[in-house]
Amino acid sequence: EAGVAQSPRYKIIEKRQSVAFWCNPISGHATLYWYQQILGQGPKLLIQFQNNGVVDDSQLPKDRFSAERLKGVDSTLKIQPAKLEDSAVYLCASSLEWSSVGETQYFGPGTRLLVL
Protein backbone atom coordinates (compact mmCIF):
# COMPACT_ATOMS: atom_id res chain seq x y z
CA GLU A 1 0.00 0.00 0.00
CA ALA A 2 1.43 3.36 -1.02
CA GLY A 3 1.92 5.83 1.79
CA VAL A 4 1.19 9.53 2.00
CA ALA A 5 3.06 11.39 -0.71
CA GLN A 6 4.32 14.94 -0.37
CA SER A 7 6.22 17.29 -2.60
CA PRO A 8 8.52 19.02 -2.71
CA ARG A 9 10.69 17.46 -0.02
CA TYR A 10 12.74 20.62 0.47
CA LYS A 11 12.15 24.27 -0.32
CA ILE A 12 14.23 27.36 0.30
CA ILE A 13 12.65 30.75 -0.29
CA GLU A 14 13.17 34.32 0.77
CA LYS A 15 10.79 36.06 3.12
CA ARG A 16 7.76 37.60 1.48
CA GLN A 17 7.84 35.01 -1.31
CA SER A 18 5.06 32.48 -1.83
CA VAL A 19 5.30 28.73 -1.59
CA ALA A 20 2.95 25.79 -2.09
CA PHE A 21 3.09 22.23 -0.85
CA TRP A 22 1.24 19.25 -2.22
CA CYS A 23 -0.05 16.14 -0.49
CA ASN A 24 -1.63 12.96 -1.81
CA PRO A 25 -3.11 10.86 1.00
CA ILE A 26 -3.39 7.11 1.17
CA SER A 27 -6.06 5.91 -1.23
CA GLY A 28 -9.47 5.77 0.43
CA HIS A 29 -8.56 7.95 3.37
CA ALA A 30 -11.29 10.50 3.95
CA THR A 31 -9.50 12.62 6.52
CA LEU A 32 -6.43 14.70 5.69
CA TYR A 33 -4.36 16.79 8.06
CA TRP A 34 -1.66 19.42 7.64
CA TYR A 35 0.74 19.89 10.53
CA GLN A 36 3.56 22.35 11.13
CA GLN A 37 6.54 21.04 13.06
CA ILE A 38 9.07 23.63 14.16
CA LEU A 39 12.49 22.33 15.14
CA GLY A 40 12.44 20.96 18.68
CA GLN A 41 8.65 20.93 18.92
CA GLY A 42 5.89 18.46 18.29
CA PRO A 43 3.63 18.69 15.24
CA LYS A 44 0.93 21.35 15.48
CA LEU A 45 -2.30 20.85 13.54
CA LEU A 46 -2.91 23.61 11.01
CA ILE A 47 -5.97 22.30 9.22
CA GLN A 48 -8.03 19.13 9.00
CA PHE A 49 -10.25 18.08 6.11
CA GLN A 50 -12.99 15.49 6.09
CA ASN A 51 -13.34 14.70 2.37
CA ASN A 52 -13.36 18.20 0.85
CA GLY A 53 -14.76 20.01 3.88
CA VAL A 54 -12.76 21.78 6.59
CA VAL A 55 -13.24 20.30 10.06
CA ASP A 56 -10.75 22.41 12.00
CA ASP A 57 -8.60 25.32 10.89
CA SER A 58 -8.45 27.13 14.21
CA GLN A 59 -4.65 27.21 14.26
CA LEU A 60 -4.16 28.16 10.63
CA PRO A 61 -2.78 31.73 10.26
CA LYS A 62 -5.40 32.66 7.73
CA ASP A 63 -3.82 35.98 6.82
CA ARG A 64 -1.02 34.13 5.06
CA PHE A 65 -1.84 30.42 4.96
CA SER A 66 -4.47 28.75 2.85
CA ALA A 67 -5.29 25.15 2.07
CA GLU A 68 -7.68 23.35 -0.18
CA ARG A 69 -8.80 19.83 -0.97
CA LEU A 70 -11.14 20.49 -3.83
CA LYS A 71 -11.95 16.95 -4.94
CA GLY A 72 -11.57 15.34 -1.57
CA VAL A 73 -8.35 13.59 -2.52
CA ASP A 74 -5.10 15.50 -2.78
CA SER A 75 -4.49 18.81 -1.07
CA THR A 76 -2.33 21.90 -1.35
CA LEU A 77 -1.12 24.19 1.41
CA LYS A 78 0.03 27.66 0.45
CA ILE A 79 1.91 30.37 2.31
CA GLN A 80 1.76 33.87 0.92
CA PRO A 81 3.80 35.82 1.93
CA ALA A 82 6.25 33.72 3.91
CA LYS A 83 7.87 34.93 7.12
CA LEU A 84 11.09 33.78 8.76
CA GLU A 85 9.10 32.04 11.51
CA ASP A 86 7.41 29.82 8.92
CA SER A 87 10.63 27.81 8.63
CA ALA A 88 9.52 24.34 9.67
CA VAL A 89 8.63 20.89 8.40
CA TYR A 90 5.13 20.71 6.98
CA LEU A 91 3.68 17.26 7.51
CA CYS A 92 0.65 15.87 5.79
CA ALA A 93 -1.19 12.95 7.36
CA SER A 94 -4.27 10.96 6.51
CA SER A 95 -6.64 8.54 8.18
CA LEU A 96 -9.58 6.46 7.07
CA GLU A 97 -12.05 8.59 8.99
CA TRP A 98 -11.95 10.84 11.99
CA SER A 99 -12.60 8.99 15.21
CA SER A 100 -12.59 10.38 18.72
CA VAL A 101 -10.89 7.23 19.86
CA GLY A 102 -8.09 7.84 17.45
CA GLU A 103 -8.11 6.42 13.99
CA THR A 104 -4.45 5.90 13.15
CA GLN A 105 -2.93 8.82 11.30
CA TYR A 106 -0.29 8.02 8.71
CA PHE A 107 2.22 10.75 8.05
CA GLY A 108 3.98 11.66 4.86
CA PRO A 109 7.73 12.40 4.77
CA GLY A 110 7.13 16.14 5.09
CA THR A 111 8.31 19.22 3.26
CA ARG A 112 11.21 20.99 4.91
CA LEU A 113 10.85 24.76 4.40
CA LEU A 114 13.57 27.27 5.05
CA VAL A 115 12.69 30.95 4.81
CA LEU A 116 15.69 33.28 4.50
Work out whether 56 is an interface residue with other proteins (CB under 8 A): yes
- Kindly state the smallest distance separating residue 98's Cβ from other proteins, in Å: 6
- Kindly state the smallest distance separating residue 82's Cβ from other proteins, in Å: 21
Tell which one of 16, 44, 62, 83 touches other proteins (CB under 8 A): 44
Contacting residues for 18 by C-beta, under 8 A, at least 6 apart: 78, 79, 80, 81, 82
**Site stretch for other proteins (CB under 8 A), options 11-19, 48-56, 61-69, 71-79:** 48-56
Q: Which of residues 2-41 bind other proteins (CB under 8 A)?
A: 33, 40-41
**Site stretch for other proteins (CB under 8 A), options 15-23, 69-77, 79-87, 107-115:** 107-115
Category of 57 on φ-ψ map: left (φ > 0), alpha (ψ -120 to 50) or beta: alpha
| Under 8 Å between Cβ of 52 and 72 | yes
Considering beta carbons, is residue 81 or 114 the nearer one to other proteins?
114
